[in-house]
Amino acid sequence: MIRLSRLQVRIIERTAATIPLALAVAVAAFVLMRAIPGDPVDIMMGEGASSSGEEVAALRAQLGLDEPIHRQLSRYLKGLFRGDLGYSIIRSRPVAEMIREALPATIELAVYAMLFALALGIPVGVAAALKHNTVFDRVSMAMSFIGVSLPAFWLGIVAILVFAMTLGWAPTSGRIPYGLEPRHITGLLTLDALLTGNMPALGSALRHLCLPAITLGLGVAAVVARVTRSSMLDVLGSDYVLFARAKGVPESAVTIRHALRNAMIPTVTLVGLQFGSLLGGNMIVETVFGWPGLGRVVVDAVFARDYPVVQASVMVYALTFVLINLVTDVIYTALDPKMALQ
């Protein structure tokens, strides 16, 4: 008889729970999209169009929008179980193809935004805890509060005006100039450029990533800094840290080996949640910077009432969020073995 560890059981339970969650998300996306005022056929025809009632009715029948809602839902769910995400109403393309083209850009932006957030937030949080109640601590926490409060769209517009248009340090929009793209391998331009040794493409991709990644990651960096500081303060006051200091362990070893590792446990959970939010909440940043990712595709689809695109994109976001939380659980257990016993 095969005996599974508690971690393996937890992974199986989470995976099994994904099925009803995905079904609930699919139904919710279907219902909410049709609750929004507006009709995709009217949008396709355009305002002031002189199309006859027969032409409108024929187009609605062609798109399957003339059927009762329950039949549309049934057809949609059957397609999902077959792996068919449908066709875009506006672009007349397979939705799966559109998502496959746009998703790598969104993932790449979210990854670099998170790397920026971690590179800034963790050192600031640790330093603020080590310099508790000093000027650095108060200033850094005040700046983190401001970082959390700033709207992403405003920050993006200011970044474009200052660093792109005035100083010319970075491009205003886009992902890479036409003709400079590296050979397609993963869809992640920086990784493809590294794999193919295309250094000009790598440099251009990083320059285009700079402003949107910082804009997207600044709020996350502020949250990471505050959580890391709080966790470090709790750990630095614990008995085992005081005992290590009493034994004469160097302060750097106490900070890194004993305090930081345990302080990272809440931060890992936060990073998992925030990374899911970066993937699903980057629509504004992608729109401001003209970034050709899934968020921008969803925004365009919502305005066009392109039901299949929005429904499939919501499903992708939900399943990605579940997967990220599953990975977070595994990392959490590796950092805190006591979790494997719960």
pLDDT, one tens digit per residue, over 148-207 is 888 888 899 999 999 988 888 888 888 888 888 898 898 899 999 999 999 999 999 999
pLDDT at 212: 93
The pLDDT tens digits of the residues spanning 134-153 come to 999 899 989 988 888 888 88
Amino acid sitting at position 329: D
155-176: buried (b, 16+ CB within 10 Å) or exposed (e) per residue? Answer: bbeebbeebbeeeeebbbeebb
Across the range 89-105, mean pLDDT stands at: 88
Across the range 221-237, mean pLDDT stands at: 87
Residue 234 maps to a domain: yes
Query: Which range, 122-131, 238-247, 260-269, is most confident?
Result: 122-131
Residue 312 maps to a domain: yes
Residue 95 maps to a domain: no
Is the pTM higher than 0.85? The answer reads: no
pLDDT at 341: 45
Cα torsion 138, 139, 141, 142 to 10°: value is 110
Could you give the C-alpha distances from 73 to 35, 84, 227, 259, 276, in angstroms and in order? 14, 14, 43, 53, 27
Residue 57 maps to a domain: no
Residue 243 maps to a domain: yes
104 confidence band (pLDDT: 50, 70, 90):
very high
Higher pLDDT, 3 or 65: 65
Write out the residue range of the structural domain in which residue 140 sits.
102-341
Residue 82 maps to a domain: no
119 confidence band (pLDDT: 50, 70, 90):
very high
pLDDT at 207: 93
If we measure between CA atoms, which residue out of 117, 107, 115, 116 comes closest to residue 223? Answer: 117
Residue 167 maps to a domain: yes
The pLDDT tens digits of the residues spanning 13-67 come to 767 777 787 788 888 888 888 877 777 776 666 655 555 667 777 777 777 777 7
CATH of the domain at 158: 1.10.3720.10
Q: How many domains does the chain have?
A: 1
Residue 322 maps to a domain: yes
